[in-house]
């Protein structure tokens, strides 16, 4: 009897598998670009579902794919999957990238950041900066209307600032960077900052404008429930946990945009489901996949895989503020040696299938002032041993090392591999092993500077400049900093107060070189992220910080 | 009876209190929400202000007593992430979860009971073998694996059903199937063995010797007695479906409580996790209480207390 049951179960399971893995004939379309578009199209008959793909990603960049002409007016419904449940969809409150991506389609900022990170006019048509670098005069665009018909003028900028710095907002401190915002005339405002702040103009891109009358009428709660701005899409409804629906705003100030009539965001936390739903056509854009998942749909002509390097710098930090005092890692030769000791390329090849860019510093290849002449530290264990001997540690030493669990893809394995490479040159770990910690506890200790003298982490920036992560990780007073270096501090402070972009880029270049010669970290990599989009999606381009603007995206209606 | 009910009520209350205590302290062992909720670049003052605004700077026992006091007034606190009262967030999502769990339970009963009855009346037959295999399959396959197969087959491969969400009336079919599969397995086996056992009871032989038809025996005697055996597992299964649908809801992006809990855990939204844990344990305790009451009412053989 039992044996009969097992046979039947086996048949049932085999049936399931058969249906799930039927062979099929498919067309492989994959777009890999190295600053120019290159479309690889080949006909392949596949016996098994997996298709071997090329992994040529020295400098992966995404370009816009446009195969058909854009429609004359907004049409069709674009459905985008997000991976979290947004807490809010207003700029001062949207807590993470996914919520911010919803917000970015509803609101317009005062300035616009181009794909190449340059600043161009948006609601502010032009601006001047006073000689002391503290006062901005913005000349506003005329004839812009809000979703509710209100006309945009200088008072609305004041309202935006006042509403933004309401302490109820998660990002109130961003608005507090301005000292005052005053109306000069209907279409001119003056904004002052306490100190010259080179990133301030850039941050105005995130000041999504609030309509004065409407905000005064509905207040904080009302505005959170139904936001109104001047962006390409207007808010329709938000069914919590299910969807956020937006609609093309017909009086949007940029002529001819947007290109889709309806935009729907669906929170789908589970990546396997996002992958399924983009294949069935229920959603058009799905983000945050790993290589293995993207591989599953190579060969499916209904979808296109996009991959690009994410501006998130992974590193192993040293400490010279608390636990690291008196440790060998205070000697710069030791830190250089540890950078030479690690075979980054082997780690990336083994754990990320080569889908990552190696790091040569904290100023990333996607940041202003990056110096391409500075190559990542080569793998050279002999040089490492030599430097260690020079520093007085010919037999190596022992040091404490911690890494977070479940915070970043494959990071536990990266730490394991790294400790192996360090052991090769004689550097062993306190207690004989890495101190792995659940990420919540880990961030606590990191913020209190209580981690061991060596610890792993990653830091992303979203505005194309390394300044935020430099200040956050390398100025002793910052919450997550564990390192202090007077020369480096001087450079970072200089970058933080240099307004002229070219001069600032030069300072970043110096920082890049200085941090290469005097590494406060073992530099690791910038991993690629993968997205899968429906083939009908045209003109879609996510940016290095996983942000996107959908006003120019349209759907080829052949589908 | 009254005394029995009263003692069960007190027990249930103590159970809930225990849950409150465990949940409160367990979550706080895993780290400080400030590190997760406040952006990395934020200045130290912002971190302190957040800590203060949410009362995380006060001693643990003070936080605990305030939390208990509020819980008794049905104030389950405010979500850190959504900045809304937890109760209102939960009420928004509750209907979806109850709907999914109820459909799943219904599905499990409708599919499993007939299979179990047929098997019980015809042990060893081909139908029984297939039914038992099906039951074993249901009880052993992990729900989330089954869920992914369902999506692959019925959404991706065949394109018959949506892979996620709650957009159409038929959106519930896949998640309900995935959620009910474990229950189906359990019900099939239980119904079968109950029927098998009852069939051999003396009163069935008596009924048969009275000349009652097979149908009448089945409906009046066997089914009613088997139902008695089923009630307890049905309510347990229902509370499991209400609370245990975390991964099924996440996989199908079902806008319910399980999905909400999964997100809250990722975001370490303490107050929301606490509130959800309380609501889930409330379901379990209430359904257990209900089971006992139902037994006391419908089964004349069971007498409680005096």
pLDDT for position A30: 42
In a domain, B11, yes or no: yes
Query: CA A544, CA A61: separation in Å to the nearest integer?
Result: 9
Mean pLDDT within A285-301: 85
Whether A84 and B263 lie within 8 Å, measured CB to CB: yes
Contact of B86 with chain A, judged by CB distance below 8 Å, is answered with no
Looking at the domain A71-104+231-284+536-559, which fold is it?
D-Maltodextrin-Binding Protein; domain 2 (3.40.190)
In a domain, B20, yes or no: yes
**CATH, range A108-226:** 3.90.76.10
How many CB pairs lie under 8 A apart between chains A and B? 151
- Give A214-219 contacts, CB < 8 A, sequence gap 24+: A214/A146, A214/A148, A214/A150, A215/A159, A215/A163, A216/A159
Specify whether B119 is located in the same domain as B151: yes
**Other residues' Cβ atoms within 10 Å of the Cβ of residue A546:** 21
Residue of B nearest to A271 (CA): B251
Whether B149 and A479 lie within 8 Å, measured CB to CB: no
Neighbour-count burial of A402, counting CB atoms closer than 10 A to its CB (0-12 exposed, 13-18 middle, 19+ buried): buried
Query: Residue A453: helix, strand or coil by DSSP?
Result: coil
pLDDT in tens, A71-85: 878 889 999 999 888
- The rounded Cα A508 to chain-centroid distance in angstroms is 20
pLDDT for position A61: 46
pLDDT for position B244: 64
CA A222 → CA A106, A215, A225, B86, B206, distances in Å?
A: 16, 8, 5, 18, 72
Residue A101 half-sphere exposure toward CB, CA atoms < 13 A: 25
Contact of B7 with chain A, judged by CB distance below 8 Å, is answered with no
Query: CA A371, CA A29: separation in Å to the nearest integer?
Result: 34
pLDDT for position A14: 57
Specify whether B124 is located in the same domain as B251: yes
Specify whether B120 is located in the same domain as B193: yes
In chain A, what are the domain boundaries?
1-69, 71-104+231-284+536-559, 108-226, 312-527
In a domain, B159, yes or no: yes
Nearest to A173 among B43, B140, B255 (CB): B43
Residue of A nearest to B264 (CA): A85
pLDDT for position A167: 83
Nearest to A5 among B89, B136, B165 (CB): B136
Specify whether B195 is located in the same domain as B47: no
Query: Residue A58: helix, strand or coil by DSSP?
Result: coil
pLDDT of residue A141 exceeding 80, the answer is yes
- Give the tokens for residue B174: 């896949």
pLDDT for position A389: 94
Please tell me the distance in Å from B142's CA to the nearest CA on chain A: 13
Query: CA B147, CA B182: separation in Å to the nearest integer?
Result: 12
Specify whether B137 is located in the same domain as B261: yes
Specify whether B153 is located in the same domain as B116: yes
pLDDT for position A106: 95
A5 pLDDT tier (thresholds 50, 70, 90): low
Nearest to A277 among B47, B89, B164 (CB): B164
Range of weakest confidence among A84-88, A150-154, A554-558, B228-232:
A554-558
CA A98 → CA B209, B213, B263, distances in Å?
A: 72, 65, 13
Tell me the sheet residues that pair with A31: A39
pLDDT of residue A50 exceeding 50, the answer is no
pLDDT in tens, A473-508: 999 888 889 999 999 999 999 998 888 888 999 999
Comparing C-alpha atoms, which of A41, A86, A530, A82 is closest to residue A290? A530
Query: CA B190, CA B186: separation in Å to the nearest integer?
Result: 6
Contact of B14 with chain A, judged by CB distance below 8 Å, is answered with no
Give the domain range for residue B135.
92-266
pLDDT for position A47: 34
pLDDT of residue A95 exceeding 50, the answer is yes
pLDDT of residue A227 exceeding 50, the answer is yes
> pTM of the predicted model, to two decimals?
0.81
Contacts of B266 in chain A (CB under 8 A): 84, 269
Under 8 Å between Cβ of A430 and A398:
yes
Whether A440 and B129 lie within 8 Å, measured CB to CB: no
Whether B133 and A480 lie within 8 Å, measured CB to CB: no
Specify whether B67 is located in the same domain as B103: no
pLDDT for position B304: 58
Instruction: Please identify every stretch of chain B with a pLDDT value under 70, giving residue numbers as ranges.
Output: 1, 30-33, 36-37, 39-41, 244, 300-306
Contacts of A404 in chain B (CB under 8 A): none
Please tell me the distance in Å from B79's CA to the nearest CA on chain A: 10
Under 8 Å between Cβ of A106 and A89:
yes
Please tell me the distance in Å from B196's CA to the nearest CA on chain A: 16
- Sheet of strand A180-185: strand arrangement: A124-129, A135-140, A188-192, A180-185
Contacts of A240 in chain B (CB under 8 A): 89, 92-93, 255
pLDDT for position A559: 42
What is the four-CA torsion angle of B116, B120, B125, B130, rounded to 10 degrees?
Answer: 20
Whether B35 and A440 lie within 8 Å, measured CB to CB: yes
Which position has the higher pLDDT, A49 or A507?
A507
Residue of B nearest to A448 (CA): B35
- Does the CA dihedral A484-A485-A486-A491 come out positive or negative? negative
Q: Report the residue of B129, B140, B253 to disrupt the A interface, i.e. the one with the largest count of A CBs within 10 Å.
A: B253
Q: If you search the block for the tokens 């109850």, which residue do you land on?
A: B98
Whether A280 and B32 lie within 8 Å, measured CB to CB: no
A192 pLDDT tier (thresholds 50, 70, 90): very high
The set of residues, in sequence order, having a beta carbon less than 8 Å from that of A32 and lying 6+ positions away, is A38, A40, A54, A56, A57, A60
pLDDT for position A2: 52
Mean pLDDT within A412-426: 94
Specify whether B6 is located in the same domain as B45: yes
pLDDT in tens, B265-298: 877 787 888 889 888 888 888 888 888 888 877 7
Whether B250 and A269 lie within 8 Å, measured CB to CB: yes
Specify whether B164 is located in the same domain as B48: no
Q: Pairing between strand A233-239 and A243-248?
A: antiparallel
DSSP A14-55: HHHHHHHT--EEEEEEEE--BSB--EEEEEEEESSS------
Under 8 Å between Cβ of A299 and A53:
no
Instruction: Assign residue B106 the CATH number of its domain.
Output: 1.10.3720.10
The set of residues, in sequence order, having a beta carbon less than 8 Å from that of A281 and lying 6+ positions away, is A302, A534, A559
Contacts of B133 in chain A (CB under 8 A): 4-9, 12
Whether B31 and A440 lie within 8 Å, measured CB to CB: yes
Under 8 Å between Cβ of B298 and B228:
yes
Whether B30 and A280 lie within 8 Å, measured CB to CB: no
Nearest to B253 among A1, A267, A439 (CB): A267
Please tell me the distance in Å from B11's CA to the nearest CA on chain A: 35
- The rounded Cα A392 to chain-centroid distance in angstroms is 41
pLDDT of residue A37 exceeding 60, the answer is no
Nearest to B156 among A276, A440, A444 (CB): A276
Query: Residue B82: helix, strand or coil by DSSP?
Result: coil
pLDDT for position A546: 83
- Whether ipTM tops 0.85, in short, is no
In a domain, B271, yes or no: no
Mean pLDDT within A154-170: 90
Boundary-marking domain end, from B22, B43, B72: B72
Query: CA A530, CA A33: separation in Å to the nearest integer?
Result: 14
pLDDT of residue A157 exceeding 90, the answer is yes
pLDDT of residue A27 exceeding 60, the answer is no
Specify whether B66 is located in the same domain as B112: no
Whether B250 and A438 lie within 8 Å, measured CB to CB: no
pLDDT of residue A29 exceeding 70, the answer is no
Q: What are phi and psi of A541, to 5 degrees?
A: -145, 105
Nearest to B36 among A279, A440, A472 (CB): A440
Whether A269 and B263 lie within 8 Å, measured CB to CB: yes
Whether B250 and A440 lie within 8 Å, measured CB to CB: no
- Structural domain count, chain B: 2
Domain A312-527 is found in CATH 3.40.640.10: no
Most confident of A198-212, A377-391, B2-16: A377-391
Whether B83 and A276 lie within 8 Å, measured CB to CB: no
Whether B137 and A85 lie within 8 Å, measured CB to CB: no
């Amino acid at each position: 009897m039992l044996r009969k049951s097992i046979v039947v179960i086996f048949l049932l399971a085999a049936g399931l598998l058969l249906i799930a893995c039927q062979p099929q004939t498919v067309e492989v379309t994959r777009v890999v670009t190295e600053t120019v578009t290159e479309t690889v199209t080949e006909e392949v008959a596949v016996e098994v579902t997996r298709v071997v793909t090329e992994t040529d990603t020295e400098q992966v960049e995404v370009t816009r794919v446009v195969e058909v002409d854009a429609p004359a007016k907004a049409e069709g419904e674009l459905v985008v999957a997000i991976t979290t449940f947004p807490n809010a969809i207003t700029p001062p409150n949207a807590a993470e990238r996914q919520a911010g991506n919803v917000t970015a389609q509803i609101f317009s900022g005062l300035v616009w950041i181009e794909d190449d990170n340059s600043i161009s006019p948006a609601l502010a048509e032009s601006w001047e900066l006073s000689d002391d670098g503290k006062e901005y005069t913005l000349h506003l665009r005329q004839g812009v209307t809000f979703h509710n018909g209100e006309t945009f003028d200088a008072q609305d900028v004041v309202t935006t600032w006042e509403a933004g710095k309401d302490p109820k907002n998660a990002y109130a401190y961003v608005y507090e960077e301005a000292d005052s915002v005053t109306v000069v005339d209907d279409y001119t405002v003056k904004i002052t900052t306490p100190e010259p702040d080179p990133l301030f103009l850039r941050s105005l891109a995130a000041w999504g404008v609030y309509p004065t009358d409407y905000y005064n009428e509905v207040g904080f709660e009302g505005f959170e429930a139904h936001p109104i701005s001047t962006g390409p899409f207007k808010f329709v409804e938000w069914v919590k946990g299910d969807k956020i629906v937006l609609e093309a705003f017909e009086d949007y100030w940029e002529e001819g945009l947007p290109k889709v009539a309806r935009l729907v965001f669906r929170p789908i936390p589970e990546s396997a489901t996002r992958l399924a739903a983009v294949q069935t056509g229920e959603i058009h854009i799905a983000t945050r996949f790993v290589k293995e998942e993207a591989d599953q749909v190579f060969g499916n002509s209904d979808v296109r895989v996009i991959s690009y390097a994410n501006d998130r710098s992974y590193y192993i930090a040293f400490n010279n503020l608390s636990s690291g005092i008196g440790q060998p890692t205070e000697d710069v030769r030791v830190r250089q040696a540890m950078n030479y000791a690690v075979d980054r390329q082997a780690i990336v090849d083994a754990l990320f299938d080569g889908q990552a860019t190696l790091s040569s510093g904290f100023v990333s290849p996607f940041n202003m002032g990056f110096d391409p002449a500075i190559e990542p530290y080569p793998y050279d264990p002999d040089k490492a041993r030599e430097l260690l001997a020079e520093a007085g540690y010919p037999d190596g030493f022992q040091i404490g090392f911690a890494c977070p669990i479940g915070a970043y893809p494959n990071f536990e394995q990266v730490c394991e591999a790294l400790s192996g490479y360090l052991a090769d040159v004689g550097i062993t770990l306190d207690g004989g092993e890495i101190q792995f910690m659940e990420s919540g506890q880990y961030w606590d200790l990191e913020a209190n500077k209580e981690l061991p003298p060596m610890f792993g982490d990653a830091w992303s920036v979203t505005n194309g400049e390394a300044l935020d992560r430099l200040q956050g990780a390398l100025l002793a007073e910052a919450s997550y900093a564990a390192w202090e270096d007077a020369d480096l501090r001087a450079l970072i402070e200089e970058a933080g107060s240099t307004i002229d972009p070219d001069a600032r880029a030069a300072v970043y270049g110096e920082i890049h070189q200085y941090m290469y010669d005097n590494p406060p970290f073992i530099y690791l990599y910038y991993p690629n992220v993968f997205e899968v989009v429906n083939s009908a999606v045209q003109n879609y381009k996510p940016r290095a910080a996983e942000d996107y603007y959908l006003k120019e995206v349209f759907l080829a209606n052949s589908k | 009876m009254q005394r029995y009910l009263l003692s069960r009520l007190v027990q249930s209350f103590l159970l809930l209190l225990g849950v409150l205590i465990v949940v409160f302290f367990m979550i706080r062992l895993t780290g400080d929400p400030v590190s997760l909720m406040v952006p990395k670049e934020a200045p130290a003052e912002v971190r302190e202000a957040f800590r203060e605004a949410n009362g995380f700077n006060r001693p643990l026992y003070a936080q605990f007593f305030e939390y208990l006091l509020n819980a008794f007034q049905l104030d389950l606190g405010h979500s850190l992430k959504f900045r809304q009262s937890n109760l209102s967030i939960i009420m928004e999502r509750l209907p979806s979860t109850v709907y999914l769990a109820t459909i799943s339970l219904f599905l499990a009963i409708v599919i499993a009971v007939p299979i179990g009855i047929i098997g019980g009346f015809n042990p060893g037959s081909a139908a029984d073998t297939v039914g038992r295999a099906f039951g074993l399959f249901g009880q052993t396959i992990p729900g989330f694996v089954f869920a992914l197969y369902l999506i692959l087959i019925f959404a991706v491969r065949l394109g018959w059903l949506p892979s996620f969400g709650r957009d159409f009336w038929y959106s519930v079919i896949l998640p309900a199937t995935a959620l009910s599969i474990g229950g189906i397995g359990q019900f099939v086996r239980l119904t079968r063995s109950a029927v098998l056992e009852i069939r051999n009871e003396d009163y069935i032989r008596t009924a048969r010797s009275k000349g009652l038809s097979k149908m009448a025996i089945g409906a009046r005697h066997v089914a009613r007695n088997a139902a008695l055996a089923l009630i307890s597992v049905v309510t347990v299964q229902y509370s499991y479906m209400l609370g245990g649908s975390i991964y099924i809801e996440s996989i199908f992006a079902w806008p319910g409580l399980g999905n909400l809990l999964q997100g809250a855990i990722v975001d370490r939204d303490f107050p929301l996790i606490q509130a959800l844990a309380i609501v889930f344990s409330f379901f379990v305790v209430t359904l257990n209480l209900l089971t006992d009451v139902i037994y006391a009412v419908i089964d004349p053989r069971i007498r409680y207390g005096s």
